[in-house]
Amino acid sequence: MPVESGAEPGRVYLDYAGFAPVDPRVLAVTRPFLEAGIGNPSARHSLGAEARESLDAARVKVARLCGGAAGGIVFTSGATEANNLAIKGVVARARSGGAARVLLSAIEHISVINACRDLEKAGATVCYLPVDGEGRVDPGMLRAALTADTALVSIAAANPEIGTVQPLKEIGRVTRAAGVALHVDGVGALGRIHPQVLGGGQEGGYRSGTENVPGVVGLGVAAELMRVEGAHQEAARLAVLRDRLMQGLLETIPECRLTGSAGSRLPHHLSLVLRGVKADGVLLDLDLDGVAASSGSACASLTQTTSHVLRAIGCTPEEAEGSLCFTLGRWSTAADVEAVLDRLPPIVARLRALAAPLHT
């Protein structure tokens, strides 16, 4: 039976990549850890033992979802910290024996790019691999770029801005054959790393600091729900909704085109560029009309700069200004899709008409 989301009535939320509503069942399990007494997992009393057991159980659940060993799971505050920990940790270990070289794609998340830039200041060599027009890395090009001093390759499983999924199996075979560590943003596999946060030795020494027990327990429940309920059936449902939205918008809005791969993309993700309008204006009008969407990566949007991802796949500056991203999720419905198809085309037409005198 579907679980009620508690979403605001009348609102259409299509920004799941930015922030996803929490499943009420996750909240139900997390609430006692926030409201009742709970011990520090490092403490030796019974409350501490209960907290450690909860952490261990969550670790097992996340490992089941990721397909790895529970002992290889390191909990952090989020993806930005995890990316920094993995990248800097691996390269710090490698540089103890000399110079290090890092390869990453031109469309990595800004937390990956900035972590690599920081390493570059410290003497590491950073090389960016180009992508094709759909945002995919060529495994053959990666193989040719590997050198004896390459310490790490960083390729995200899927790009959050354009939804393209990378050929990770082929990439993994290339790096494994070369004996080079592979960091994959979004998969949760950190590999062998040098600690970046020093302290009491929590998380196997990789990430010191008292663990966020409520957050970790909630993550464990969410991982289990995703593994059991959110497999192929949910992905297929979202892909149907996404394709309906994509087809409808491409048919009703002139000078609108898809960004990223049409086939090898996340099932819940649709990204487009519109000529003749600015994304900020479109999103504002959509929001006033009850629809929440985005223009790509939530982190990158704060900088107000042209997307490096869109530049890398060949979008013109004018197209990049009109970048829109719709990401569906657990409570997205066909009615949500129809609402966007009803409201977005007239918004774009009106904004283009207002901008027309500026171009005459």
Residue 105 maps to which CATH number?
3.40.640.10
Instruction: Verify whether residue 299 is a known catalytic residue.
Output: yes
Domain end call among 119, 153, 182: 182
Cα–Cα distance, 262 to 181 (Å, whole number): 30
pLDDT tens string 204-235: 555 545 566 777 888 888 888 888 876 668 88
The parent domain of residue 274 ranges over 12-19+230-359
Cα–Cα distance, 234 to 23 (Å, whole number): 15
Mean pLDDT over each residue of the chain, to the nearest integer: 85
The CATH number linked to 350 is 3.90.1150.10
Residue 115 predicted with pLDDT over 70: yes
CB count within 10 Å of CB 36 equals 8
Same domain for 239 and 339?
yes
Helix, strand, coil tally for the chain in percent (to 5): 50, 10, 40
Higher pLDDT: 239 or 194? It is 239
Give a yes or no: residue 59 inside a domain.
Answer: no
Q: By mean pLDDT, which of 88-97, 179-188, 208-217, 268-277 is the weakest? A: 208-217
Q: By mean pLDDT, which of 38-47, 224-233, 251-260, 344-353 is the weakest? A: 224-233
At 5, is the pLDDT very low, low, confident or very high (cuts 50, 70, 90)? low
Give a yes or no: residue 48 inside a domain.
Answer: no
DSSP, res 156? -
Six-digit token string for 316: 């013109």
Same domain for 235 and 152?
no
Same domain for 345 and 246?
yes
Six-digit token string for 332: 């997205």
Same domain for 251 and 345?
yes
What's the N-to-C CA distance of the chain in angstroms?
56
pLDDT of residue 192: 34
Catalytic residue among 66, 299, 315, 325: 299
Give a yes or no: residue 238 inside a domain.
Answer: yes
Bridge partners for 272 per DSSP? 258, 324
Structurally, the chain folds into a number of domains equal to 2
pTM over 0.85: no
pLDDT tens string 226-277: 888 766 688 889 999 999 999 999 999 999 999 999 999 999 999 999 999 9
Domain end call among 117, 150, 182: 182
Same domain for 259 and 162?
no
